[in-house]
Amino acid sequence: MEIYIHQQDHWPDFTWDHEQLAMLLGKVRNEQGKLVGKMASLGFDLQHEAFLETFTLNIIKTTEIEGIILNPEQVRSSAARRLGIDVAGLTPSDRNIDGVVDMMFDATRNFNQPLTKERLFDWHYSLFPTGRSGVSKISVGDWRDDSTGPMQVVSGAIGKENVHYQAPAAARLAQEMNVFIEWINEGGENIDLVLKAGIAHLWFVTLHPFDDGNGRIARAITDMLLAKSDGSEERFYSMSAQIQKEHNMYYAILEKTQKGNLDITEWLSWFLTCLLHALNSSHEILSNVIYKHNFWNMHSLNIRNERQKLLVNKLLDGFYGKLTTSDTALRDIQDLMRKNILRKAEGGGRSTSYELVDI
């Protein structure tokens, strides 16, 4: 019979090798400081734009990890409204997107507020406003009850399932979550907050307290503690985006840890390395924000038509593929080409496509 980490005698008294993690933790802390310093040197508008880009990316990727693909324009619009950032051409967003935005906003903007059972339940309601996960009715705003059997992580065809993990029985959850919440708020005073974020992530997904949404809520808790470690509610790097890039390794190290003992050094080493990659990736986001800023400084007087502004912003925000005449009026394209803002893309095939001229 498989023995899981939550069945160990001294659960949840995790241990780890401080010396083995010290250098990696130091690198993470150094990169955090450099990023905060770099962002502080930018103007107010650029900071807000970088924050919006990162916040949007984080929401898209935390859901994508679960196999759920959100509309990027709706996410960006919902995030901009929630953050109070003035963005032209906001599109309507559905309540499922607004719910994820609300959860992540609360987790990071209110990082100094205590984590409570009620707060976690509110987040769960935000993720599942209809009380359903897909077409399945689930228990929302309450711990799972295992009425349909034990909570398991499985793969494979029906009848040939491979059980990767089985969570603690529902009867244990009330007490287990009380211990977890108390530790988040008052425990681990001598633990670096970055390490605490890694421990909390593992601990929460191991308990798997909800019928669905555990991964997204675990990452919200992680972001809450990372915001606290930065001392800033504004996020300029996305842990979820990096986990998505490394999702195969993420699930492998998670399964290995959950089937191991209470020494979680290997998990924390992976977590810190993933976070370091996320911090390094933030430079790409910042470069894109600065590029957009410089682009509009150069062309703002030449683009006064609202349709053209929306068109150009779509391309600057990473519009998938190339622009064609089916996407906008031909006269707008021709006007932007005359102004040396758009050009015909190479290899257009049957239909001519267009792209932005580099500045």
**Residue at which a domain ends, from 291, 316, 338:** 291
One domain, residues 145 and 187? yes
Tell me, yes or no, whether 296 lies in a domain: no
One domain, residues 54 and 128? yes
One domain, residues 132 and 154? yes
From residue 110, alpha-carbon distances to 83, 154, 196 in Å are: 13, 35, 17
**Using CA atoms, how far apart are residues 215 and 189, in angstroms rounded to an integer?**
25
Angle of helix 247-258 versus helix 193-207 axis, rounded to 10:
70
Residue 223 pLDDT level (bands cut at 50, 70, 90) = very high
One domain, residues 81 and 189? yes
Task: Count how many residues are written for the chain.
Answer: 359
Phi, psi (deg, nearest 5) at residue 116: -130, 165
Are 237 and 278 in contact by the 8 Å Cβ rule? The answer is: yes
Tell me, yes or no, whether 298 lies in a domain: no
pLDDT digits (tens, 9 = 90+) for 226-254: 999 999 988 899 999 999 999 999 999 99
One domain, residues 189 and 327? no
One domain, residues 216 and 333? no
Residue 133 has pLDDT above 80, yes or no: yes
pLDDT digits (tens, 9 = 90+) for 267-284: 999 999 999 999 999 888
One domain, residues 336 and 254? no
For residue 27, give the H/E element and its range.
helix 18-40
Q: Which two tokens stand for residue 277?
A: 């990659």
Other CB atoms within a 10 A radius of the CB of residue 339 amount to: 14
One domain, residues 170 and 57? yes
**Residue at which a domain ends, from 262, 291, 320:** 291
One domain, residues 122 and 168? yes
Q: Check residue 293 and give its pLDDT.
A: 76
Tell me, yes or no, whether 324 lies in a domain: yes
- What average pLDDT does the segment 349-358 reach? 76
What's the chain's average pLDDT? Answer: 90
Q: Which of 46, 220, 8, 234 is nearest to 119 (CA)?
A: 220
Domain housing 164: 5-291
Of residues 348 and 295, more confidence is placed in: 295
pLDDT digits (tens, 9 = 90+) for 66-120: 999 999 889 999 999 998 887 766 788 989 999 999 999 999 999 999 999 999 9
Angle of helix 173-186 versus helix 117-127 axis, rounded to 10:
110
Residue 54 has pLDDT above 70, yes or no: yes
Helix (H, G, I), strand (E, B) or coil at 133: strand
Report how far apart the first and last C-alpha atoms of the chain are (Å, whole number): 63
Residue 19 has pLDDT above 80, yes or no: yes
Of residues 22 and 38, more confidence is placed in: 22
One domain, residues 177 and 78? yes
**Using CA atoms, how far apart are residues 346 and 193, in angstroms rounded to an integer?**
50
Tell me, yes or no, whether 299 lies in a domain: no
The pTM of the full predicted model, rounded to 2 decimals, is 0.86
One domain, residues 267 and 322? no
Q: Check residue 17 and give its pLDDT.
A: 98
Residue 62 has pLDDT above 60, yes or no: yes
Number of domains in the chain: 2
DSSP β-ladder status, 323-324 and 132-133: unpaired
State the CATH number of the domain containing residue 85: 1.10.3290.10
Are 77 and 87 in contact by the 8 Å Cβ rule? The answer is: yes
One domain, residues 255 and 286? yes
Of residues 191 and 298, more confidence is placed in: 191
Q: Which residue has the tokens 């967003």?
A: 93
Tell me, yes or no, whether 139 lies in a domain: yes
Of residues 11 and 356, more confidence is placed in: 11
- What average pLDDT does the segment 140-148 reach? 94
DSSP string across 223-244? HHHHHHHHT-S---S-HHHHHH
Tell me, yes or no, whether 267 lies in a domain: yes
Tell me, yes or no, whether 144 lies in a domain: yes
**Residue at which a domain ends, from 242, 268, 291:** 291
Tell me, yes or no, whether 297 lies in a domain: no
State the CATH number of the domain containing residue 326: 1.10.10
